[in-house]
Amino acid sequence: MAKKSITARWVLNTLCAIIFVLFCIIIVASVLFKEQYYEAVRVTLDSRATNVVLSYFSISNDNSDDTFNLRAKQFVEDFSDKSVMEVWVIDRSGNVVVSSSGFSVENEKYPDYAEARISDTGKATWVGRMSSGEKVMALSYMLPSSGDQNSGAVRYIISLSDIDSQLIRVILLMCFIAVVIIAFVTVSGLFFVRSIVRPVKKINETAIKIAKGDLSARIEDAGGDDEIGQLCESINNMAHEINESERMKNEFISTVSHELRTPLTAEKGWGETILEDPIKDEALTKRGLNVIISESERLTSLVEELLDFSRMENGNLTMRMSSMDVLAELDEAVFVFKDRSVREGKELLYNVSEVPAPMTGDPNRIKQVFVNILDNSFKYTEAGGTISVTAKAEKGFVTITIADTGCGIPSADLPYVTEKFYKANASVRGSGIGLAVVNEIVKRHNGTLSLNSIEGRGTTVTVVFPIQQTQQ
């Protein structure tokens, strides 16, 4: 058993505390039982000091020693409880005249007699051992006398051996019950502790595997609907999320590498072609330079997107707020994509009211939102498809809707498309961080971003910003 294990701490703390409490209960109960039994004996002895004694030793004119001895013998002979207790009669000199046992009482001490002589009640009790070693309780009762003259005493003696034996049996019974309780608590406690320790060990083993890079590790057969079971489920979910994040990160690295390599390859190829003979074919040279410029812009856009994502992750995504018109920025973004729609054979519909939509925001960032959403719509829409842009301003908000007739997003992927690195369609180029940056920009402008999509029919992206009310 490990010194610092939960089981060891439970045994040291809980079990030891229970044993200590039971030990204290046994001690207290033993003392109380002893006092109760001994008190019952005292009451029995005290009940003997009644008028029966007075009837034998009443005050009379004849108080001679012979008369006293005769009365003492008569009292002892008539005593009915000889089998229960022993009785002595003590004369005025303190000597035992007669005893119910018939044996000599020499060398016996009876301090209760001396105490009774000075007691106001004329009675005294003593617990001790006789010369034979037997433990007894004795009560001395002073006989009535005239004046200050001592008339003697009657002493009742009862053995405590049977009572002490009874007390020992009671204590042994309590000890047995305590052992049964301790055994039950130990068994049930160890069962309970192990029901916690076993899954904790599994959790620890799984956590070590995860820490070493085994993201496929799971806690098997955690069991139970209690807090331990919930913890195991949470750790399994955490491992799954980490595994998914790691997978998406690797896919992101692979995608970005591909996105960087493709334009670089095109630029390098056209650069080598132009370098071989830049004069012979002027049209080819011009075409190559256009490709290099286009791919350079694509690289710049990708790098800017990566930088924005890095700033967002570090909390350093800056916003240069100023008064602006949201629809003016939307108009500029749409204008950028008009040539692309013609070039790719896609229809771009634009329907926006002439009413201004003023707000406080970062114009470049707002334009970045629209450009990114439009770029996604164009990427996921085949030739012959349609991208429509509408906007309306009412009740202090402007709602911009960008809908396409592209491939759509599977319902299982839709809740995650704004998460970093997530790509619902790996076959289309893109880093998987664009919508994450867009969502952050919209939130920073107190706006909302929502997506609705039907797989195979298209996607609708709705952006809502709060705007300043304008006078009509």
Mean of the pLDDT values across residues 40-50? 79
**pLDDT the model gives residue 52:** 63
Mean of the pLDDT values across residues 276-304? 72
Residue 374 has pLDDT above 60, yes or no: yes
Taking residue 8's Cβ as centre, other Cβ atoms within 10 Å add up to 13
Residue 250 has pLDDT above 50, yes or no: yes
Pairwise pLDDT comparison (276 vs 332), residue with the higher score: 332
For residues 254 and 260, is the Cβ–Cβ distance under 8 A?
A: no
Q: Work out the angle at residue 66's Cα, subtended by the Cα atoms of residues 99 and 155, and round it to the nearest 5 degrees.
A: 30
Mean pLDDT check: name the lowest of 23-37, 115-129, 214-228, 368-382.
214-228
> What is the helix (H) or strand (E) element at residue 3, kind and residue range?
none
The answer regarding whether domain 49-159 maps to CATH 3.30.70.100 reads no
Rounded to an integer, what distance in angstroms lies between the CA atom of residue 74 and that of residue 153? 15
Rounded to an integer, what distance in angstroms lies between the CA atom of residue 93 and that of residue 149? 11
Q: Work out the angle at residue 186's Cα, subtended by the Cα atoms of residues 8 and 223, and round it to the nearest 5 degrees.
A: 80
For residues 178 and 27, is the Cβ–Cβ distance under 8 A?
A: no
For residues 439 and 270, is the Cβ–Cβ distance under 8 A?
A: no
Mean of the pLDDT values across residues 381-387? 91
> Which of 48-62, 172-186, 197-211, 404-418 has the largest mean confidence?
172-186
Long-range contacts of 222-229 (CB under 8 A, 24+ apart): 223/199, 224/199, 228/195, 228/196, 228/199, 228/200, 229/199
Mean of the pLDDT values across residues 377-403? 90
Q: Work out the angle at residue 448's Cα, subtended by the Cα atoms of residues 349 and 469, and round it to the nearest 5 degrees.
A: 80
Name the DSSP class of 49. S
Domain ranges of the chain: 49-159, 227-313, 320-466
Spell 237-262 as b/e; 16+ CB within 10 A means b: eebeeebeeeebeebbeebbeebbee
Mean pLDDT check: name the lowest of 42-51, 208-217, 318-327, 370-379.
42-51
Name the DSSP class of 106. T
Say if residue 3 is exposed, middle or buried (CB neighbours under 10 Å; 0-12, 13-18, 19+). exposed
Rounded to a whole number of angstroms, the distance between the first and last alpha carbons of the chain is 82
Q: Which of 93, 141, 101 is nearest to 121 (CA)?
A: 141
What's the one-letter identity of residue 29? A
Mean pLDDT of the chain: 81
Q: Give the percent of the chain with pLDDT over 90.
A: 13
Topology annotation, domain 227-313: Helix Hairpins (1.10.287)
For residues 285 and 278, is the Cβ–Cβ distance under 8 A?
A: yes
Residue at token pair 């009535």: 144
Distances (CA, A) of 51 to 64, 65, 390, 425, 448: 21, 22, 120, 113, 105
| Tokens coding 87 | 């009785």
Rounded to an integer, what distance in angstroms lies between the CA atom of residue 86 and that of residue 69? 18
For residues 141 and 49, is the Cβ–Cβ distance under 8 A?
A: yes
Mean of the pLDDT values across residues 412-438? 70
Pairwise pLDDT comparison (438 vs 221), residue with the higher score: 438
The sign of the CA dihedral 404, 408, 412, 417 is negative
Residue 472 has pLDDT above 80, yes or no: no
**pLDDT the model gives residue 431:** 57
> Which of 20-29, 214-223, 299-308 has the largest mean confidence?
20-29
Q: Which of 357, 354, 352, 353 is nearest to 389 (CA)?
A: 352
What's the one-letter identity of residue 20? F
Instruction: Give every CB contact of residue 428 below 8 A, 6+ residues apart in sequence.
Output: 379, 380
Mean of the pLDDT values across residues 387-404? 90
Rounded to an integer, what distance in angstroms lies between the CA atom of residue 13 and that of residue 47? 51
Q: What are phi and psi of 396, to 5 degrees?
A: 80, 10
Q: What is the pTM of this model?
A: 0.49
Q: Give the percent of the chain with pLDDT over 70.
A: 84
Rounded to an integer, what distance in angstroms lies between the CA atom of residue 291 and that of residue 229? 59
Instruction: Give every CB contact of residue 355 below 8 A, 6+ residues apart in sequence.
Output: 327, 393, 470
Rounded to an integer, what distance in angstroms lies between the CA atom of residue 34 and that of residue 51? 30
The separation between CA 316 and the C-alpha centre of its own chain, rounded to angstroms, equals: 36
The answer regarding whether domain 320-466 maps to CATH 3.40.1190.20 reads no
Rounded to an integer, what distance in angstroms lies between the CA atom of residue 13 and that of residue 7? 10
